[in-house]
Amino acid sequence: MFTLLLRGAPRHRPGTGRAVSLPTWLLLSSGLLAVAVVLGLLAARVGLQLTVVLVFVGFAARFAGDSFGLESPLEGDGFEEVVVFLFLPVLVFEAALGLSVRAFFRNLGPILVLAIVALLVSAVLVGAALALVLDIPLAAALLFGALISATDPVAVVAVFRQLGVPERLLVLVEGESMLNDGVAIVLFTILLSAALGADVSVAGGIVDFVVVFFGGAAIGALFGIGVAVLLPWLDRNLTATLTVAVAYGSFVLADHILGFSGVMAGVSAGIVIAGFAPSRGSADARKMLEQVWEALGFVANALLFLLIGLAIEPVLIREHLGAIALAIVVVLVARAAAIVPVVSALERIAHIPRVGRRNEAVLIWGGLRGGVALALALALPTSLPEHDMFVAMTGGVVLATLLLNATTIGWLIHRLGLDEPSRAARFLAAVARLEAARAASSRLDELGVQNEDVVDRLDEVQRAARDELERIELSADEEVEVITRQGLLVERQVYQRLSDAGLLQPTAARTLLHEVDDHIDEVVLGRSKLTTLGETRPPRGETVVQHVAARIPRPAGEDPSEIAYSEAMARRLAARRTLEALELFKDLPNVHDAAVEGAREVFCRREDDAERALVAFDADGAAQADALHRRMADALARVAAGEALAELTEVGLLPEVVARDATRALSAPAATS
């Protein structure tokens, strides 16, 4: 879709049509990455956000180059395509892959409203104001409103994660920004035709929008499901390679070939893979995905923000200062005027959980503009009379939001108190520090290592953690939340480790992980008590995902009997580990024995239920049960041996090649006589 737009009309000015060759791009990219590394070190020293520094260094470099008459290597027909097809697939896929899928589906309603309705309202308000004040055609003004209304949360999200803001606020900001990029591009394409004098009907525009937007999402979902089917058979390198292929392939196929939204294809593919990876991918594969995409995301963001600065023309900025100032004010006001009434209406009509005024304030102030807005502006044909003014206004708004909003969003979050953890969260954090120090001391004793400085430091950590626990006075409900959350987190960890070790079938792992995640969500939201564990329902979007998951081909050898057996075994083991973990609460201050015993009773019942399921399984098919017992014992032995080999390799007592061969030998089926 975007390619068709780029091909539609000449966009560069006379004299600046020199195409940038591949070697030039590679040299430029290498230099920009080196600059980004240096700037990253400096930004960390002075406490500034790297993305903000990158943009303004790029802009300063462009300004200095223009002053000395140096031509920017970024001019030419290929620049917009490089931004759209090189950077956007990485950025949207990486954001979707790192998103909490469950939180995304729980907040899908407000995310869609923010990404579609609020963007449309903002575009209309910006367009109407500019048409009125600058006396430009309404279609052209609405075109600018569409391209400038897409938000870029990169700098803000980095601050959010550092400050530990509530997960819901983080998901709302990330989810809106991912989806509204696709909305803005589709709306931009429709309005560009109108601004150039073509006949565009409202009904036809709505149909085009729905087809392009949801068509892209469908393409991405198909790619994501294809990866999910293959995940059990892929090692870490093949998994990373395939996801890179999917990120670019789904984007280009949807956008360039089929005319759908490439952004929505990338978002959809990333979300589907993120949803299936915990139950169908290995621990190594998931770790590799996290590392590879974190690195790719950093590289893409570093290059893009430097390119944004380099692409903003100082001459245009100087020539249109008045229009830029007007655009900055109008964009900020329109953002607020769109967010507040739209969210309020959604809360009243759809009865969604209240977003809250503090979160709304952050959503408004966190509406930065970045690469998508600038790429759209640079894609405007020069035959549009407002071309230069729109490019200048876009560059000015991008610079202003990064300079003003991005540098003050942390202060706003702190002033609103959104970075303050709850008492229950603080209590659990202190418990974690206490247990970590105890475990370290115990490990030193086992190894026979005695160092007074280390022992004293660990003792001090334990004393400080216990003092903090004594200061945090929990209410009865908070006691239940703390104990239940800790138990459920231990239960989830057991399921994930069993799945990673190959002791839990993917179908059973998916069922158990979804179930415990439902419980955790309900406890965090305050909707669940100990007596209601097991009665929660997943979000509607998650239910659809589970139905799709049930129809994905199972790995070879996965049969219903083994699934049922492994699930019952996992439930029993998880309940036992949880009961052991709850013992630590018995000697903690501000936790009553009655609350601990109540939690123990719940998990004891769950252990009993799993035990009865195993007994019934043995009674129904003794021969099959014996075979499954033997397979489980064999798997446990292989896992234990593999862990021992890995530990010997890490400490340098065993060459990696030898350990690999030994692991392969352990994994081979036993010879039959």
We report the CATH number of the domain holding residue 217 as 1.20.1530.20
Q: ∠ CA(386), CA(391), CA(394), 5° rounding?
A: 120
Q: Give how many domains the chain has, as a whole number.
A: 4
Q: Same domain, yes or no, for 375 and 462?
A: no
Residue matched to tokens 């129809």: 551
Comparing CA positions, the residue from 510, 492, 627 lying closest to residue 562 is 627
Cα dihedral angle (409, 414, 418, 419), rounded to 10 degrees? 100
Average pLDDT, the chain: 79
User: Would you say residue 511 lies in a domain?
Assistant: yes
What's the CA gap between 165 and 526, in Å, rounded?
A: 18
Q: Could you tell me the pLDDT band of residue 490, with boundaries at 50, 70 and 90?
A: confident
User: Would you say residue 43 lies in a domain?
Assistant: yes
Of the candidate ranges 213-217, 621-625, 669-673, the one whose mean pLDDT is the lowest: 669-673
Average pLDDT over residues 500-522: 78
User: Would you say residue 448 lies in a domain?
Assistant: yes
Q: Could you tell me the pLDDT band of residue 664, with boundaries at 50, 70 and 90?
A: low
Q: What is the reported pLDDT for 15?
A: 41
Last residue of a domain, one of 620, 648, 663: 620
Q: Same domain, yes or no, for 493 and 381?
A: no
Q: Same domain, yes or no, for 165 and 263?
A: yes
Q: Same domain, yes or no, for 653 and 566?
A: no
Rg (CA), the chain: 28
Residue 155 has pLDDT above 50, yes or no: yes
Q: Would residue 558 be called left, alpha or beta, if left means φ above 0 and alpha means ψ between -120 and 50 degrees? A: beta
Q: Same domain, yes or no, for 102 and 177?
A: yes
> With helix as H, strand as E and coil as C, how does 249-274 read?
HHHHHHHHHCCCCHHHHHHHHHHHHH
More confident of the two residues 647 and 233: 233
Q: Could you tell me the pLDDT band of residue 272, with boundaries at 50, 70 and 90?
A: very high
Per-residue pLDDT reduced to its tens digit, 290-320: 899 989 988 888 888 888 887 788 888 888 8
Q: Same domain, yes or no, for 351 and 378?
A: yes
Q: Same domain, yes or no, for 305 and 442?
A: no
Of the candidate ranges 210-224, 450-464, 529-543, the one whose mean pLDDT is the lowest: 529-543
User: Would you say residue 625 lies in a domain?
Assistant: no
User: Would you say residue 628 lies in a domain?
Assistant: no
User: Would you say residue 397 lies in a domain?
Assistant: yes
User: Would you say residue 562 lies in a domain?
Assistant: yes
The residue segments making up the domain with residue 645 are 636-673
Q: Same domain, yes or no, for 333 and 435?
A: no
Of the candidate ranges 81-90, 384-393, 414-423, 652-661, the one whose mean pLDDT is the lowest: 652-661
Q: Same domain, yes or no, for 391 and 427?
A: no
Q: What is the reported pLDDT for 251?
A: 93
pTM over 0.85, yes/no:
no
What's the CA gap between 508 and 191, in Å, rounded?
A: 49
Q: Same domain, yes or no, for 294 and 217?
A: yes
Q: Same domain, yes or no, for 409 and 448?
A: no
Average pLDDT over residues 23-27: 74
Single-letter residue type at 538: P
User: Would you say residue 283 lies in a domain?
Assistant: yes
Last residue of a domain, one of 416, 437, 461: 416
Q: Is-contact 91 324, C-beta < 8 A? A: no
Which helix (H) or strand (E) segment holds residue 97: the answer is helix 88-97
Q: Same domain, yes or no, for 399 and 426?
A: no
More confident of the two residues 477 and 401: 401
Q: Could you tell me the pLDDT band of residue 192, with boundaries at 50, 70 and 90?
A: confident
